[in-house]
């Protein structure tokens, strides 16, 4: 019997003492309104038990973590046809590099680099009646929590400064791999990234990936095979150019966001969400990465 609460407490103790907490993302002003000392973990076992420590009930901007949720919805809507428009290989490059996209003629490397997530957004804009409302409902549904919402200020702020995403969307369009208007797709994409969730809500949202496609309310939202495949993409592509490092050090499928959140999971066992807003030089939560390394060491659990 693993003493999960003791493990979380011990991680919290160790992390509080850390002097260098990383750097808060500053590329949009709205993201800087957080306290560098904020830190929370929530652990949701597939068996139903929950454990938490710190600010696990404080909402933060989930940013790129949302790409896993939009991918899940796109796969459930369109099935394998999405793979005609993007690939599943790691990029080995920072998250905003357009070079590979150009070299590979408009086919994004995977759904978690920005250009890939924009293609997924394009697919959802084509297939949903009210894209923003429908996606929000999907997230609320799988989480079982209607209080989840977009932060509209953050979405607006990203729109005003998201020139790199505009560049990516236009480049995709020049290769005929964006079917809707650039503005419509990015409006959806910026809202998707501006979702605010707590650690607890994140753990619940990702429950279906640890539970063979069935969400917390035990309803099938993905096939078992789809859940497995999304886990594989998280493992190989979930951490920008630190994906190999995370697999090496932590050994769990997961996804990070520049808001400082990380969610990771062990199939059939648990989902764990960590939040600490300071980032390392590769754009992943510095203390979040440390916390997850400690967790898998102490709990002695990983897919490997």
Task: Say if residues 64 and 258 touch (Cβ distance below 8 Å).
Answer: yes
| Nearer CB in complex with a second copy: 21/85 | 85
Single out the residue of 71, 154, 168, 264 in contact with a second copy (rule: CB under 8 A): 168
Strand order across the beta sheet in which 40-45 lies: 50-54, 40-45, 270-275, 261-266, 254-256
Residue 150 bears catalytic tag:
no
* Neighbour-count burial for 57-82, b at 16+ CB within 10 Å, e otherwise: ebbbbbbbbbbbbbbbbbbebbeeeb
Catalytic residue, from 56, 61, 64, 157: name it: 64
Binding mask 214-243 for a second copy (x = CB under 8 A): -------------xxx-xxx-xxx---xxx
Residue 189 bears catalytic tag:
yes
105 burial type by CB count under 10 A (0-12 exposed, 13-18 middle, 19+ buried): exposed
Catalytic residue, from 240, 255, 274, 286: name it: 240
Catalytic residue, from 4, 53, 56, 67: name it: 67
* Nearest-approach distance from CB 244 to a second copy, in angstroms: 4
Q: Under rule CB under 8 A, how many of the chain's residues touch a second copy?
A: 47
Report the SS3 class of residue 263.
Answer: strand
The values of phi and psi at residue 141, to 5°, are -65, -50
* Nearest-approach distance from CB 185 to a second copy, in angstroms: 12
Pairwise CA distance, residues 17 & 163, whole Å: 38
163 binds a second copy (CB under 8 A): yes
Residue 256 bears catalytic tag:
no
180 binds a second copy (CB under 8 A): no
Single out the residue of 167, 179, 184, 269 in contact with a second copy (rule: CB under 8 A): 167
298 binds a second copy (CB under 8 A): no
Single out the residue of 149, 166, 179, 187 in contact with a second copy (rule: CB under 8 A): 166
Residues in 132-151 that interact with a second copy by CB under 8 A: none
* Neighbour-count burial for 269-290, b at 16+ CB within 10 Å, e otherwise: bbbbbbbbbbbbeebbbbbbbb
CA 60 to chain centre: 12
278 Cβ contact partners less than 8 Å away, ≥ 6 residues apart: 21, 22, 23, 24, 36, 260, 285, 286, 287
Residue 159 bears catalytic tag:
no
* Nearest-approach distance from CB 166 to a second copy, in angstroms: 4
Catalytic residue, from 68, 258, 263, 274: name it: 258
Task: Say if residues 48 and 4 touch (Cβ distance below 8 Å).
Answer: no
Residue 27 bears catalytic tag:
no
Binding mask 83-122 for a second copy (x = CB under 8 A): ----xxxxxxx---xxxx-xx-----xx------------
* Nearest-approach distance from CB 252 to a second copy, in angstroms: 10
Q: Tokens in use for 233? A: 């993409």
Q: Which residues are catalytic?
A: 64, 67, 189, 240, 258
- What residue ranges bind a second copy (CB under 8 A)? 87-93, 97-100, 102-103, 109-110, 163-164, 166-168, 170-171, 173-174, 182, 227-229, 231-233, 235-237, 241-245, 247-248, 251, 253, 267, 302-304
């Amino acid at each position: 019997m693993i003493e999960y609460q003791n493990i979380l407490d011990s991680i919290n103790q160790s992390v509080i003492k850390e002097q260098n907490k990383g750097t808060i993302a500053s590329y949009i002003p709205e993201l800087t309104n957080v306290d560098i000392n904020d830190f929370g973990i929530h652990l949701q076992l597939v068996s139903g038990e929950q454990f938490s420590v710190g600010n696990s009930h404080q909402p933060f901007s989930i940013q790129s973590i949302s790409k896993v949720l939009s991918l899940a919805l796109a796969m459930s809507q369109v099935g394998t046809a999405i793979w005609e428009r993007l690939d599943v290989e790691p990029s080995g490059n920072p998250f905003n590099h357009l070079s590979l996209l150009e070299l590979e003629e408009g086919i994004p490397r995977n759904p978690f680099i920005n250009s890939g997530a924009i293609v997924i957004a394009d697919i959802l804009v084509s297939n949903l009646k009210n894209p923003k409302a429908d996606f929000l409902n999907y997230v609320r549904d799988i989480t079982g929590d209607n209080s989840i919402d977009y932060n509209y200020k953050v979405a607006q702020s990203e729109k005003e400064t998201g020139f790199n995403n505009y560049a990516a969307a236009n480049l995709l369009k020049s290769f005929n791999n964006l079917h809707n208007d650039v503005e419509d797709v990015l409006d959806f994409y910026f809202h998707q990234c501006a979702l605010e969730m707590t650690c607890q809500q994140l753990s619940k949202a990702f429950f279906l990936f640890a539970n063979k496609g069935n969400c917390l309310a035990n309803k099938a939202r993905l096939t078992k095979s789809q859940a497995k495949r999304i886990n594989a993409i998280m493992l190989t592509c979930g951490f920008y150019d630190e994906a190999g490092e995370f697999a090496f050090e932590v050994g769990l499928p997961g996804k990070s966001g520049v808001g400082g959140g990380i969610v990771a999971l062990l199939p059939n066992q648990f989902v764990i969400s960590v939040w600490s807003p300071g980032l390392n030089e590769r754009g992943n939560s510095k203390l979040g990465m440390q916390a997850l390394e400690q967790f898998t060491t102490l709990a002695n659990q990983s897919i490997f």
